[in-house]
Structure 1
Amino acid sequence: MKKILSKVRFKVDLIAEYEDKKLLDRQLASLLKIIDEEGSILAACKILKIPYSRAWESLARIERILGLKIIEARKGGARGGGTKLTSLGKELLNYYLNQFRKIGVFEEKYVKPKMPELTIIGSHDPALEKIVEMLKSRGMVKNIEVSWVGSAGGLASIMLNEADIAGTHLYDPETRTYNIPYLKKYWLENKVVVIRGYNRELVFAFRKNIEFKGVEDLFTGKLRLANRVLGSGTRSYLDNLLYRASLKFGVSPSIIPDIIPGYNIEHKTHYNVARAIVEGNADVGLTLRYVAEQYGLKCKHVCWEKYDFVVRKSRLNKKSVKLFIDTIRSENVKKLVNSLVGYRVDENIGEIIYP
């Protein structure tokens, strides 16, 4: 008994709330502190041993609660920029740390981590998962960090100089094109190249005992939606479909989250969407045919979309980035993509389509 008790350790935590919503705890405060010191979300995640995607979601949640930014791009510097806290972020962190010190607890020291050779952040894609495994298995790039935070999160990570490569498939309904129109929103015009990837088939997936004819059926209130995370390309495309359908029915777009069951329940990956449907927690979701068929779901075709890769110009000469681009252009990847149901090789795969 004494031997067991001698190994028990206690840690004190302090929860900061804003209007009854959790803002910070000890780990999140450490995340903010290290981001500001290291100039990198990824470095902070490595030090704290937490997934980049979880850190990204936590930061986004704080900003949604406050309605203001707590991180922003750091310009210039030896590493060509990075991430820093906004003035609000700094004040919030200092306020928390001062309260923490009042109870006699101080911040822990940390050791700087070894950073990955290649960092890919963006929208979840099963083909990209296989390409990454190809790079690793052949010893081309061994230490690769991959985080699924959505297409918008990928572009934001490029803006913050966190990622080498962002995978994205954001559709612009005004131009009816993908990805390039969104560069301006993230201040990436003339700072990046967009490399053509491949085409993916988006479908509505549902169980075989469900009757589903199209997006209009979601407005009946009888079907539960498995929705993707805010900022994902799939969520953006679905929101556009729902917006157009609402206008057709004379329904205010603002009440869509209230009248479609499950709209506010977010699923991180395409696999999560499929699992929610299979397990009976949802009835229908917009996802990839590749994933839907793996789970034995029925499919209704929606569109073929463009999944591309965005790279900062300053990273193009990095060895691991060059190897990734060469791999995307290879015959092996073309064969791989064409072998996957719901995927097609684009005739311009691997080519720079912007600028």
Structure 2
Amino acid sequence: LKVRPGKPTFAAVVGGRLVVGLPGFPLSQMMIFNVLVRPILAKLLGYGEPRATVRATLAEKVLGYLGATRLVPVVLKGDSGSYVAYPLSYKSGSTSVLQIADGFVMVKDSVSFLGEGAEVEVYRLHTKKLADLVAIGSHDYLLSEVFRELSRSFTVKYVPVGSLAGLEAVAKGVADVGGVHVLDVESGEYNVPVLRRLGYGGRVALIVGYVREVGLIVAKGNPKGITSIRDLLREDVVFVNRTRYSGTRVLVDAYLEKLARELGTNFEELTSRIRGYYMEARTHSGVALSILSGRADVGVALRYVAVKYGLDFIPLAYERFDVAVNLKSLEKAEVKALIEYLRSDRFRELVERYPGYRLIERSGELVL
């Protein structure tokens, strides 16, 4: 079939019997099943239209594939009166997106793109109630644990996309909250200056969070003898970077900009000398696994990750991790519960169990 993902899909009649072949990856399989197999089964069994769909507004531009229908998984936010669909980026074999997605959008083969704000039909992957709290932002282990604790009382949808993409989602109201840790290079401060520079001040507030120790992580015993960012320029060293728009990528590039000035060169020339600069991992765990598998020698990640995966750690900095919140969501009971939790003794006890994390004096304070 001319569909992506799901190109291996086929349908045929063999010996008078219908035979359907589905793609092997779980997300592709589920979407194709809903598009092709479920309607056929419903018709054969005499049922009505089996596909649950809702109309929604697209939160971001989505590209199509000329000559092939594209299926795009989305997260839904809203109620029966108004829905917003947030498109998810993913790799073909991803299973985590299948757990996150509420449905998918079909981009016809004759359409090159659907613009932000376009009205689309979303095919639901499940009939469960939508999440009470939608969090889109930076990936963080402690925040994930906080959401697991809160999910005992209400449902939470946590979509890790990076700090800058998360800030945009929160500002648009697509997300209620999102983790953020973006260094403002000029001031040396985190988050607040970036929020104002992007013009989100009237739409987004910050809940002061905590600090995390970040550094270079390498294999146990540090076989390449790596000691600093400068070692990324060595020909025998392979680096694994983080994705664009992530807070860690902003920090990495700030260090490389500084190194370029010290060496009397420019950023582009410097990064062209780093083996693996364009090899990206979506999460801190992805960086660790790249090193454990031998694909890379070094990456930038949290001390917590180094401890978790038995890797060596070379400290670089402490970064402040806050929670951005849409001003309209401040009145939601779920957001109030999050703020209350971040101010609780229970949270303080939780932080102590995470190596490389620590609270600061203003933790839990709301900054408008």
TM-score norm. by structure 1 comes to 0.74
Q: 1:214 to 1:30 in 2, by over 3 A?
A: closer
Structure 2 residue aligned with 1:172? 184
Structure 1 residue aligned with 2:280? 266
Q: 2:208–2:363: 8 Å Cα contact kept in structure 1? A: yes
Q: 1:150–1:233: 8 Å Cα contact kept in structure 2? A: yes
Q: Aligned partner of 2:161: which letter?
A: V
Structure 2 residue aligned with 1:76? none
Q: 1:3 to 1:265 in 2, by over 3 A?
A: farther
> Does 2:160 align with 1:148?
yes
Consecutive unaligned residues of structure 2, counting only runs of 5 or more, are 1-12, 23-31, 37-62, 90-94, 106-111
Structure 2 residue aligned with 1:338? 352
Find 2:70's aligned residue among 27, 49, 68.
27
Give the Cα separation in 2 of the matches to 1:8 and 1:166. Answer: 41
Q: 2:100–2:159: 8 Å Cα contact kept in structure 1? A: no
Aligned residue for 1:178, secondary structure, equals: coil
Aligned residue for 2:20, secondary structure, equals: coil
Aligned residue for 2:239, secondary structure, equals: coil
More strand by share: 2
Q: Deviations over 1:116-157 (max 9, x none)?
A: 101111111010111111112xx222x210011000011011
Find 1:163's aligned residue among 175, 187, 203.
175
> Does 2:266 align with 1:252?
yes
Structure 2 residue aligned with 1:310? 324
Q: 1:53 to 1:351 in 2, by over 3 A?
A: farther
Provide the identity percentage. Answer: 30
Q: Aligned partner of 1:144: which letter?
A: V
Deviation of the 1:41 alpha carbon: 2.5
Q: 1:254 to 1:108 in 2, by over 3 A?
A: closer
Give the Cα separation in 2 of the matches to 1:124 and 1:334. Answer: 20
Give the Cα separation in 2 of the matches to 1:279 and 1:206. Answer: 12
Structure 1 residue aligned with 2:205? 193
Q: Deviations over 1:267-287 (max 9, x none)?
A: 011001001001101000110
Aligned residue for 1:174, secondary structure, equals: coil
Q: Deviations over 1:279-330 (max 9, x none)?
A: 1010001100000111111111101110001111111110111111111111
Find 1:240's aligned residue among 227, 231, 254.
254
Q: 1:350 to 1:148 in 2, by over 3 A?
A: same
1:126-145 matches, within 5 Å, as 126-136=141-151, 139-141=152-154, 143-145=155-157
Give the Cα separation in 1 of the matches to 2:16 and 2:197. Answer: 55
Q: 1:217 to 1:132 in 2, by over 3 A?
A: same
Deviation of the 1:109 alpha carbon: 6.4
Give the Cα separation in 2 of the matches to 1:189 and 1:166. Answer: 15
Give the Cα separation in 2 of the matches to 1:204 and 1:155. Answer: 26
Find 1:275's aligned residue among 280, 289, 302.
289
Give the Cα separation in 1 of the matches to 2:249 and 2:100. Answer: 19
Q: 2:88–2:97: 8 Å Cα contact kept in structure 1? A: no
Q: 1:43–1:115: 8 Å Cα contact kept in structure 2? A: no
Q: 1:38–1:44: 8 Å Cα contact kept in structure 2? A: no
Aligned residue for 1:271, secondary structure, equals: helix
Q: 1:211 to 1:54 in 2, by over 3 A?
A: farther
Deviation of the 1:191 alpha carbon: 1.9
Structure 2 residue aligned with 1:229? 243
1:113-132 matches, within 5 Å, as 114-132=129-147
Structure 1 residue aligned with 2:7? none
Structure 2 residue aligned with 1:295? 309
Q: Aligned partner of 2:97: which letter?
A: P
Deviation of the 1:254 alpha carbon: 1.4
TM-score norm. by structure 2 comes to 0.71
Deviation of the 1:175 alpha carbon: 1.1
Q: 2:72–2:88: 8 Å Cα contact kept in structure 1? A: no
> Does 2:205 align with 1:205?
no
Q: Deviations over 1:14-62 (max 9, x none)?
A: xxxxxxx98565234786xx99x965224999xxx9939999xxx9xxx
Q: 1:199–1:346: 8 Å Cα contact kept in structure 2? A: yes
Give the Cα separation in 2 of the matches to 1:4 and 1:340. Answer: 61
Q: 1:254 to 1:40 in 2, by over 3 A?
A: same
Q: 2:64–2:70: 8 Å Cα contact kept in structure 1? A: no
Deviation of the 1:188 alpha carbon: 1.1
